[in-house]
Amino acid sequence: GIRLAPKEKVEVPVLFMPAEMKIYKAVVVIHVVRENGENWPYKVTTGSNTDLIRNVTVAENGETQGIVWIYPINGTPEAPQQKSVMIRCQARQRVEQRVELLLIGVIMPSATALPDAGNSAEVDTDEPSNTTEVTDGSSATLEFLYELQYQSDEIRSQLESLVGMQLVEKEWDTESRIVTLIFNVVFAPSKPMRNEATIVIQCTAGGLWKFPLVFIATEPEVDDVINIEAVGLNKESIVGFKLTSQT
């Protein structure tokens, strides 16, 4: 019953309130007819374009009675963002830290929902995203995709070569519906900095989890102490030393 003038725009609000961490699908259908009830004179025949036949409603005389637009809606629930994990290291040093991430509200598949892939994980740091499969020992398997995302290309250029991430352990609790993924994060900064990144984990059965990471590199140790011995009052004393650039 919405009246729309020629070239007028109308907004179609879509509200998404997921109750569980799973994939939701719906379709928004918009059907337009003439206000005076008349048909468009164009007649749809068997030889008409397939897309056209699907997107119109036809009257008994073959004329176009209405035009239909169909918009698929895919809803992916996203868990509330967790507290930031701090990874601190002195510049020109290297630190390895185990980061334990809890995925709460995971929908457990039935024993016949997915094939048995075993308790395995594939990690390839050269790819933008990685895949891990989690199993409870039965034929029910969950598959997760994860990647480290950066807030900007500038932060990516500063952090990408300094940070490494590898999945080392995974398990699930079927009663609490919590999947635990434990990562080994390596941070080897070359200079003092403070930058942020986000581990984004997506379950193929539905659900998205984001975990912020804050990388802090503190001042490095003093390289050396330079002693200058005075040769007398109001006379210059000079000491020379070399600096080597690592880049």
Question: Where along the chain do its domains lie?
Answer: 24-75, 77-107+142-220
- pTM here is 0.70
Residue 85: count of CB within 10 angstroms of its CB: 17
The whole-number pLDDT of residue 101 equals: 94
Q: Pairing state of beta strands 208-218 and 85-90?
A: parallel
Given the structure tokens 């290297």, which residue do they identify?
94
The whole-number pLDDT of residue 62 equals: 77
Cα–Cα distance measured from residue 76 to residue 182, given in angstroms and rounded to the nearest whole number? 24
* Range 77-107+142-220 classified under CATH 2.60.40.2310: yes
Return the half-sphere exposure (C-beta side, CA atoms, 13 A cut-off) of residue 167: 25
The whole-number pLDDT of residue 47 equals: 67
**Series of mean pLDDT values for 10-residue runs along the chain (247 residues):** 89 91 91 88 71 76 86 92 92 95 83 35 42 61 89 92 92 86 95 94 90 96 90 91 81
